[in-house]
Chain A
Amino acid sequence: MGSEEDMHDANDVQSVEDDFYTGETGMGSEDDDYNFGDNYSDDSEDVTSHRQQQNYTILSEADIRQHQGENINRVSTVLSIPRYAACILLRHYNWSISRVHDEWFADEEHVRKAVGLLERTVELSNARELTCGICFENYPCGRMSSASCGHPFCGACWRGYISTSVSDGPGCLMLRCPDPSCGAAVGQNMIDVLTTSEDKEKYSRYLLRSYVEDNRKIKWCPAPGCEFAVEFVIGSGSYDVCCSCSYSFCWNCAEEAHRPVDCATVAKWILKNSAESENMNWILANSKPCPKCKRPIEKNQGCMHITCTPPCKFEFCWLCLGPWSEHGERTGGFYACNRYEAAKQEGAYDESERRREMAKNSLERYTHYYERWATNQSSRQKALADLHSMQTEKLEKLSDTQSQPESQLKFIIEAWLQIVECRRVLKWTYAYGFYLPEHEHAKRQFFEYLQGEAESGLERLHQCAEKELQVYLDAEGPMADFNDFRTKLAGLTSVTKNYFENLVRALETGLKDVGTSNNQATCSKGSSSKSLGNKSKSGKIKAVAGSSSGSGAPSRSFDDGNLWSCDRCTYANPRSTTTCQMCEHHK
């Protein structure tokens, strides 16, 4: 029961499946959790500030035992009952101390009856011989034991009874006297005295697991083989937690971490992927033909900038197979790979044709988002591996050849950590983008703008950390321009971090900032040359800060009054025009 309650976000999947998100309600559904972290009521912890403070605790097995023991002691002291009885009560009320207290002080008799804790202990009859209620043999009373009810059973029968229950599963934690009319609880105190060490051990494992699995504030880390649990301060904000095993996951839905996208969107997306998985197999193939020479190219690096093998050496974008020259900053081209251009913008066409086109495009549309989602996923895996090899071997080598102490090379690790995190965020923004309704022009445009900024920043960072660093790794001795490289990589790391913070903030507030201009301008150092235009017709809409400029002058923000968004095709047009440059629709 508890676990279902906890899944409040993921549970909504069915109901939102059909009506697609309308307006802000769907996408912004987690806002309440994020912004009003203090209007919850639960045990203990007082959470007023969030986000800054870590809102979860990683528990090792020893921590779990310790917390559990402390809780048992507390209840035992407050209610003046033995520890085994406190343990039974806590388990019954899902390890919530406040519930135990509430229920107990409201109606002690009722609670005692429900869990089988008798008010008065009935001692074993003091007859010289007693009959065991299971094997019906007579034994001297010294060889008999009973729960607090006084029903006598012999040692062998208790062992068999407990053993059968323990091997049946965690139900043994609620064991009762074997007498069918009785119901007196059999607690851990009896288990410890009456059974084999093997069964004692099994029982104590179930008890430990119960503290996590029946507790609405604690969950196991879902990483395979990981034995940590995570205690979460419910209502305190982002569900993303990072386990001591280094796996990041969403505490609420147990999927991998997916901030800033909400659990319901993630669940829908994962369902969608499994439904489409057969269609999508081809996408996962690691090789594509070079757009120029048609030889198969295998992508073995994390960034999307691919260079074909000699003699072709054609540089292209893995996602769209377009020439890289139209993406990078060198030509002042733009980076459009985050954009799905649903309709070919060739003049106006009538509604029915548009509909037909859309139906045809629906798989194509999904494919677009899925491919980018999956590519960022594998890119992230690759980056994790690169980070690892950097930490375990390459950094040391670099420190050697460039005569730099390793402490001076932290910026490289920081760059890779940023890449790993950004790939994760970027990946989930594609699931977000898929579910962002097409008709929400302004939001889509704002979203794609932020995503595009973030993505092109990340591509530059990834390329720099991967390819440019290689030169220094391959070098025989110190290179004069290493410090320039340091400045560049550290700069790209911080710029990219800014872009992603903007993106995350905007998505978490349901893109509410659209139409206002309070979006924090990102630092333009090494700024992207992306604009929202379409390559065929648009020129550059705004001057773009030169990539070498370290001035940090604020770059354009989306709603700086210089652009208007076309109602029909969402293209961002300069303020000075009255018809769309793309589709000639009137403003």
Chain B
Amino acid sequence: MTSSSAASRKALSKIACNRLQKELVEWQVNPPAGFKHKVTDNLQRWVIEVIGAPGTLYANEKYQLQVDFPEHYPMEAPQVIFLHPAPLHPHIYSNGHICLDILYDSWSPAMTVSSVCISILSMLSSSTAKQRPPDNDRYVRNCRNGRSPKETRWWFHDDKV
């Protein structure tokens, strides 16, 4: 459902291409622990496999992250969502949208796909309950037309979880 909005996105700028090439090389040399990226020829969309960290509620569970890069990456944040089925987590909606400040307001161009992945894994690892956000149904209903999570005005409750 998000593929339509991804398709309509403009092609990567020269700067974005160069930067992503470098991130890709770095990833291949030094991938973040717990993540696997199947390299394709599509630089603008990465699909990354996440494995829940041992000793956490998500140990050995496998999920998939989809990362779409905008034209002016890294000045603009990438769009990061979980593909179906998204992990049960108080900050992850059933449509895969993730409530995490660095993906939106707190994004900085000095962050990378790798640093985003590490943040997401740490968010999963620190969860103490496998449950959906309390407003899941309402939020998902409002996103039905393939709205990007970047269009949401997020309200970041607590950054502990």
Contacts and interface: CB of A to CB of B under 8 A. Distances in A.
A137 interface: yes
Central interface residue in B102, B108, B110, B115, by most chain A CB within 10 Å = B110
Interface in B78-110: 102, 106, 108-110
Interface string B8-44: 0000000100110011000000000000000000000
A66 B70 CA distance: 42
A163 B109 CA distance: 12
A161 B109 contact: yes
A303 B7 CA distance: 67
Interface string B66-85: 00000010111000000000
A164 B110 contact: no
B111 interface: yes
A133 B19 contact: no
Nearest to B18: A135
Contacts of B106: 180
Contact of B15 (A160, A163, A164): A160
B110 A179 contact: yes
B102 A180 contact: yes
Nearest to A160: B75
Interface in A150-204: 151, 153, 156-157, 160-161, 163-164, 178-180
Central interface residue in B15, B19, B75, B115, by most chain A CB within 10 Å = B75
A396 to B, nearest CB: 59
A160 B109 CA distance: 10
A349 interface: no
Interface in A110-139: 133-137
A137 B18 CA distance: 9
B109 A178 contact: yes
A155 to B, nearest CB: 13
Given A180-B102, A180-B108, A136 B19 contact: yes
Contacts of B18: 135, 137
Contacts of B75: 160-161, 163-164
Contacts of B72: 160, 164
Chain A: number of interface residues, binned into ranges: 10 to 19
B110 A178 contact: yes
Contacts of A180: 102, 106, 108, 110-111, 115
Contact of A178 (B15, B22, B76, B108): B108
A135 B72 CA distance: 12
A160 B74 CA distance: 9
Nearest to A165: B75
B22 A134 contact: no
B15 A135 contact: yes
Contacts of A163: 75
Interface residues of B, number: 16
A136 B19 CA distance: 7
A204 B102 CA distance: 28
Contacts of A160: 15, 72, 75, 109
Nearest to B119: A180
A152 B99 CA distance: 30
A135 B73 CA distance: 10
Nearest to A136: B22
B76 A134 contact: no
A164 B75 CA distance: 7
A164 B109 CA distance: 10
Central interface residue in A161, A164, A180, by most chain B CB within 10 Å = A180
A544 B102 CA distance: 80
A180 B116 CA distance: 11
Contacts of A161: 75, 109
A156 B108 CA distance: 15
Contacts of A153: 110
A135 B110 contact: no
Nearest to B23: A136
Nearest to A178: B110
A449 B76 CA distance: 67
A135 B21 CA distance: 10
Contacts of A134: 19, 74, 109-110
A178 B108 CA distance: 6
B15 A156 contact: yes
A214 to B, nearest CB: 20
B76 A164 contact: yes
Contacts of A157: 109
Contacts of B109: 134, 157, 160-161, 164, 178
A107 to B, nearest CB: 25
A164 B71 CA distance: 13
Nearest to A137: B18
Contact of B108 (A135, A137, A179): A179
Contacts of B23: 136
Central interface residue in A151, A156, A160, A163, by most chain B CB within 10 Å = A160
Contacts of A133: 110
A459 B19 CA distance: 77
A151 B109 CA distance: 13
Contacts of B76: 164
Interface of B: 15, 18-19, 22-23, 72, 74-76, 102, 106, 108-111, 115
14 contacts: A133-B110, A135-B15, A135-B19, A136-B22, A136-B23, A137-B18, A151-B110, A161-B109, A164-B76, A164-B109, A178-B109, A178-B110, A179-B108, A180-B106
Interface of A: 133-137, 151, 153, 156-157, 160-161, 163-164, 178-180
Given A136-B19, A164-B72, 16 more contacts: A133-B110, A134-B19, A134-B109, A134-B110, A135-B15, A135-B18, A135-B19, A135-B22, A137-B18, A151-B110, A153-B110, A161-B75, A178-B110, A179-B108, A180-B102, A180-B108
